[in-house]
Amino acid sequence: MDRLHTHVQRLAGDIGERHVWRPSALVAAAAYVEQTFTRYGYAVRRQLFQARRVTCANLEIERIGTEPERPMLLLGAHYDTVPGSPGADDNASGVAALLEIARLLPAAPPRSTVRCVAFANEEAPFFASSEMGSCVYARAARARGDRIALMLSLEMLGYFSSRPRSQRYPPLLRHCYPDRGDFIALVSNPRSCRALLKFSRQFRAHSDFPCQRLVSPAIVPGVGWSDQWSFWQAGYPAIMVTDTAFYRYIHYHSPLDTPERLDFASLARVTTGLAAAVAALA
């Protein structure tokens, strides 16, 4: 839990809002992610690209599998924010989980390669554009012929509430899910349904943290609003792991998205469950 708090505090508390209009902050966030991966014993590869004439970087590390013919597992989280928000939940929480999962992966090589990528430029105006970091990455992966069994997009993992009616939903869905925002959600499009079911079984086998799942077309607001969208476009199975963002968190994309509002004990439980599920699948 302390490591997660340190990561979120560094990104959202010390560096603050980070995007191409604050390029020094975006560089500082990338440097922190790279230094942390390196401290955990990984060699970091940078994928550089241009956005608004600013050099941006996707940062990739991997644990090589013993059976290279098996498709890999890929975890990703974006480290940029919208202008005006320090982005503690969106998405320092996801980056913190990514870093901690990389640390928690067993030292023994897995059967399948596990790759972790920190993406730049997920937020508007780059979402769904050629300057979106995960779009740049997913297109390159497809061009290389990378075989990806599952991409996990870690998108806002730090806010939870046990208050009645603290959880909202799109129309119709509110009758199918809890009214308390005390769970993590696994979300996929229909083509990724089998991967979602397989991963959710592993998560539930390795964690008692409440977990809900949803298979839905991306037309439902929020379903496709993160880096999994880029991998869907490239034809890869991908799911989003999320605390449901604006359906629960009133400080979404606001100046009040600060570290002290997050539930680090719950974030730690989610992170360890995700790490165990990934290790079991790999």
At 110-149, the pLDDT tens digits run: 999 999 999 999 999 999 999 999 999 999 999 999 999 9
At 25-70, the pLDDT tens digits run: 999 999 999 999 999 999 999 999 999 999 999 999 999 999 989 9
Taking Cα atoms as reference points, which of 41, 43, 17 lies closest to residue 29? 17
Task: Provide the pLDDT for residue 3.
Answer: 97
Q: Sketch out the chain's domains with CATH numbers.
A: 2-281 (3.40.630.10)
- What is the pTM for the complete model shown? 0.97
**pLDDT class of 173 with cuts at 50, 70, 90:** confident
Taking Cα atoms as reference points, which of 211, 193, 205 lies closest to residue 270? 211
> What gap in Å lies between CA 227 and CA 155, rounded to an integer?
8
At 91-113, the pLDDT tens digits run: 999 999 999 999 999 988 999 99
Give residues with Cβ within 8 angstroms of 172, minimum separation 6: none
- Please tell me the number of Cα atoms within 13 Å of 257 on its side-chain side: 31
Mean pLDDT to the nearest integer, 257-273: 98
Taking Cα atoms as reference points, which of 176, 199, 179 lies closest to residue 278? 199
> What gap in Å lies between CA 267 and CA 44, rounded to an integer?
25
Q: Are 197 and 275 in contact (CB under 8 A)?
A: no
Q: Are 121 and 30 in contact (CB under 8 A)?
A: no
> What gap in Å lies between CA 148 and CA 202, rounded to an integer?
18
> What gap in Å lies between CA 263 and CA 261, rounded to an integer?
7
Mean pLDDT to the nearest integer, 248-271: 98
Taking Cα atoms as reference points, which of 16, 113, 29, 26 lies closest to residue 73? 113
Alpha helices in 117-173 (DSSP H): 133-144
> What gap in Å lies between CA 234 and CA 214, rounded to an integer?
21
The values of phi and psi at residue 79, to 5°, are: -105, 0
State both tokens at 48. Answer: 């550089």
State both tokens at 81. Answer: 């924010």
Q: Are 184 and 243 in contact (CB under 8 A)?
A: yes
Mean pLDDT to the nearest integer, 207-228: 96
State both tokens at 252. Answer: 């979404």
**pLDDT class of 160 with cuts at 50, 70, 90:** very high
Task: Provide the pLDDT for residue 262.
Answer: 98
**pLDDT class of 175 with cuts at 50, 70, 90:** confident
Helices (H) and strands (E) in the chain, counts: 7, 8
> What gap in Å lies between CA 125 and CA 121, rounded to an integer?
8
Q: Is the pLDDT of residue 213 over 90?
A: yes
